[in-house]
Amino acid sequence: MAMNEWKFDFGCGEAVSGYMKVTANTKYDIAVGFGFMDITRVTARDRKEPGALKRDLCIPADTSFRVDVPDGNYTVSLLMGDWILPACTTLKASPGRLLLRNRTVSAGQFIRETVAVYVQGGHMNLTFSGSAPRVNALEITPAPHAITLFLAGDSTVTDQPEDGFPYAGWGQMLPQLLKHDVVVANHAVSGRSSKSFIDEGRLDVILNEMKANDFLFIQFGHNDQKPDEERATEPSTTYKKYLQQYIDGARNKGAFPVLVTSVQRRYFEPNGQLQNTHGPYLEAVRELSSEQTVPLIDLAEMSKSLFEELGAEEAKSIFMWGAPGEFAHFPGGIEDNTHFQEQGAIRIAGLISKGIREAAIWPLTMFLR
């Protein structure tokens, strides 16, 4: 096996030639560099049917398989199926980045899915869940030439921590909507404005990783409205000037900037129309897009249409609105009109996908699922 390739055969018995065997008892060991984080939630089965990699499998019931790999972009190919039972698998890459959602496979059938994973911290954590998860084989290959879609933004975009589930940002849900040719590198951080993100050196981190033909999606505004000196910008002047730094930085690297207007909050007028809580910040982004000939995804307008179509009550299903006892990590309940629960973040990521298509952002349009 090449040093830059990892191939795993899941199940029972001997490994197929060229693969490392992973059984239900393969607990992660730093000395080995791979394994399940919780083997109490893993079962292995040998169906004793033909097909070297198809014969046996593991059933990882809501647990993670960790592989120590260098930081970078990777393609991950999974073989999933079961000779005698239907399978339904959801796959995420920590922290909570959705790669496959309820991928169903009929009994006796097998599929191979290839996804892209962005790794930071020296390890890849793949979390399996779903009503009937299955994994037969897994191959991990570096993808240094893949297009990287960098995200710069705030809490509505960021990878929310897994211990806050179902709290999620739309950037966390975006990978499932893109083919493995594009790797989503979500650098968005809660509480940041266009100014504080730069002042903290976060744009520099992106630009140091960025290569020609990558993309940078830029969505700020929520925290630029805040009055504190660290974050505050003025729509027609400093806000535009800070956004211009993202545009110039990407273009200097031979990459492509894309402006995204702020996603709307859930605040309605008595007549059922959504309040514009972002004021002139939205128009400032639209103006800058026109002035600098930068593609625009008008997420503010698209989310306004979605929320008004749903109505004030149904729109709660997008946001972190939960009754006491409804969300395990928020036992006392929560009423949040800004941040999304996972199902809502999936809907917003769908609007981003729609925006890519409508703005004809090439070649991303070719890589939409």
Question: Active-site positions?
Answer: 155, 335, 339
Cα Rg for the chain, rounded, in angstroms?
A: 22
**Size of the chain in residues:** 369
Tokens of 21: 């065997």
Pairwise CA distance, residues 331 & 345, whole Å: 21
Say if residues 256 and 213 touch (Cβ distance below 8 Å).
Answer: yes
Tokens of 301: 């307008």
Give Cα 166 distance to the centre of its chain.
14
Give the burial string for 171-184 (b: 16+ CB within 10 Å, else e): bbbbbbbbebbbbb
Contacts of residue 82, defined as CB under 8 A and 6 or more positions apart, other chains included, come to: 45, 47, 57, 105, 107, 108, 132, 134
H-assigned helices in the chain: 170-173, 194-199, 202-209, 240-252, 280-292, 299-314, 342-358
DSSP labels, 136-157: SEEEEEE-TTSEEEEEEE-TTT
Contacts of residue 164, defined as CB under 8 A and 6 or more positions apart, other chains included, come to: 329
Beta-bridge partner residues of 64: 127
Tokens of 133: 């998860």
CA-based nearest residue to 288, from 243, 348, 355: 243
CA-based nearest residue to 282, from 268, 298, 295, 269: 298
Pairwise CA distance, residues 297 & 317, whole Å: 23
Pairwise CA distance, residues 126 & 66, whole Å: 6
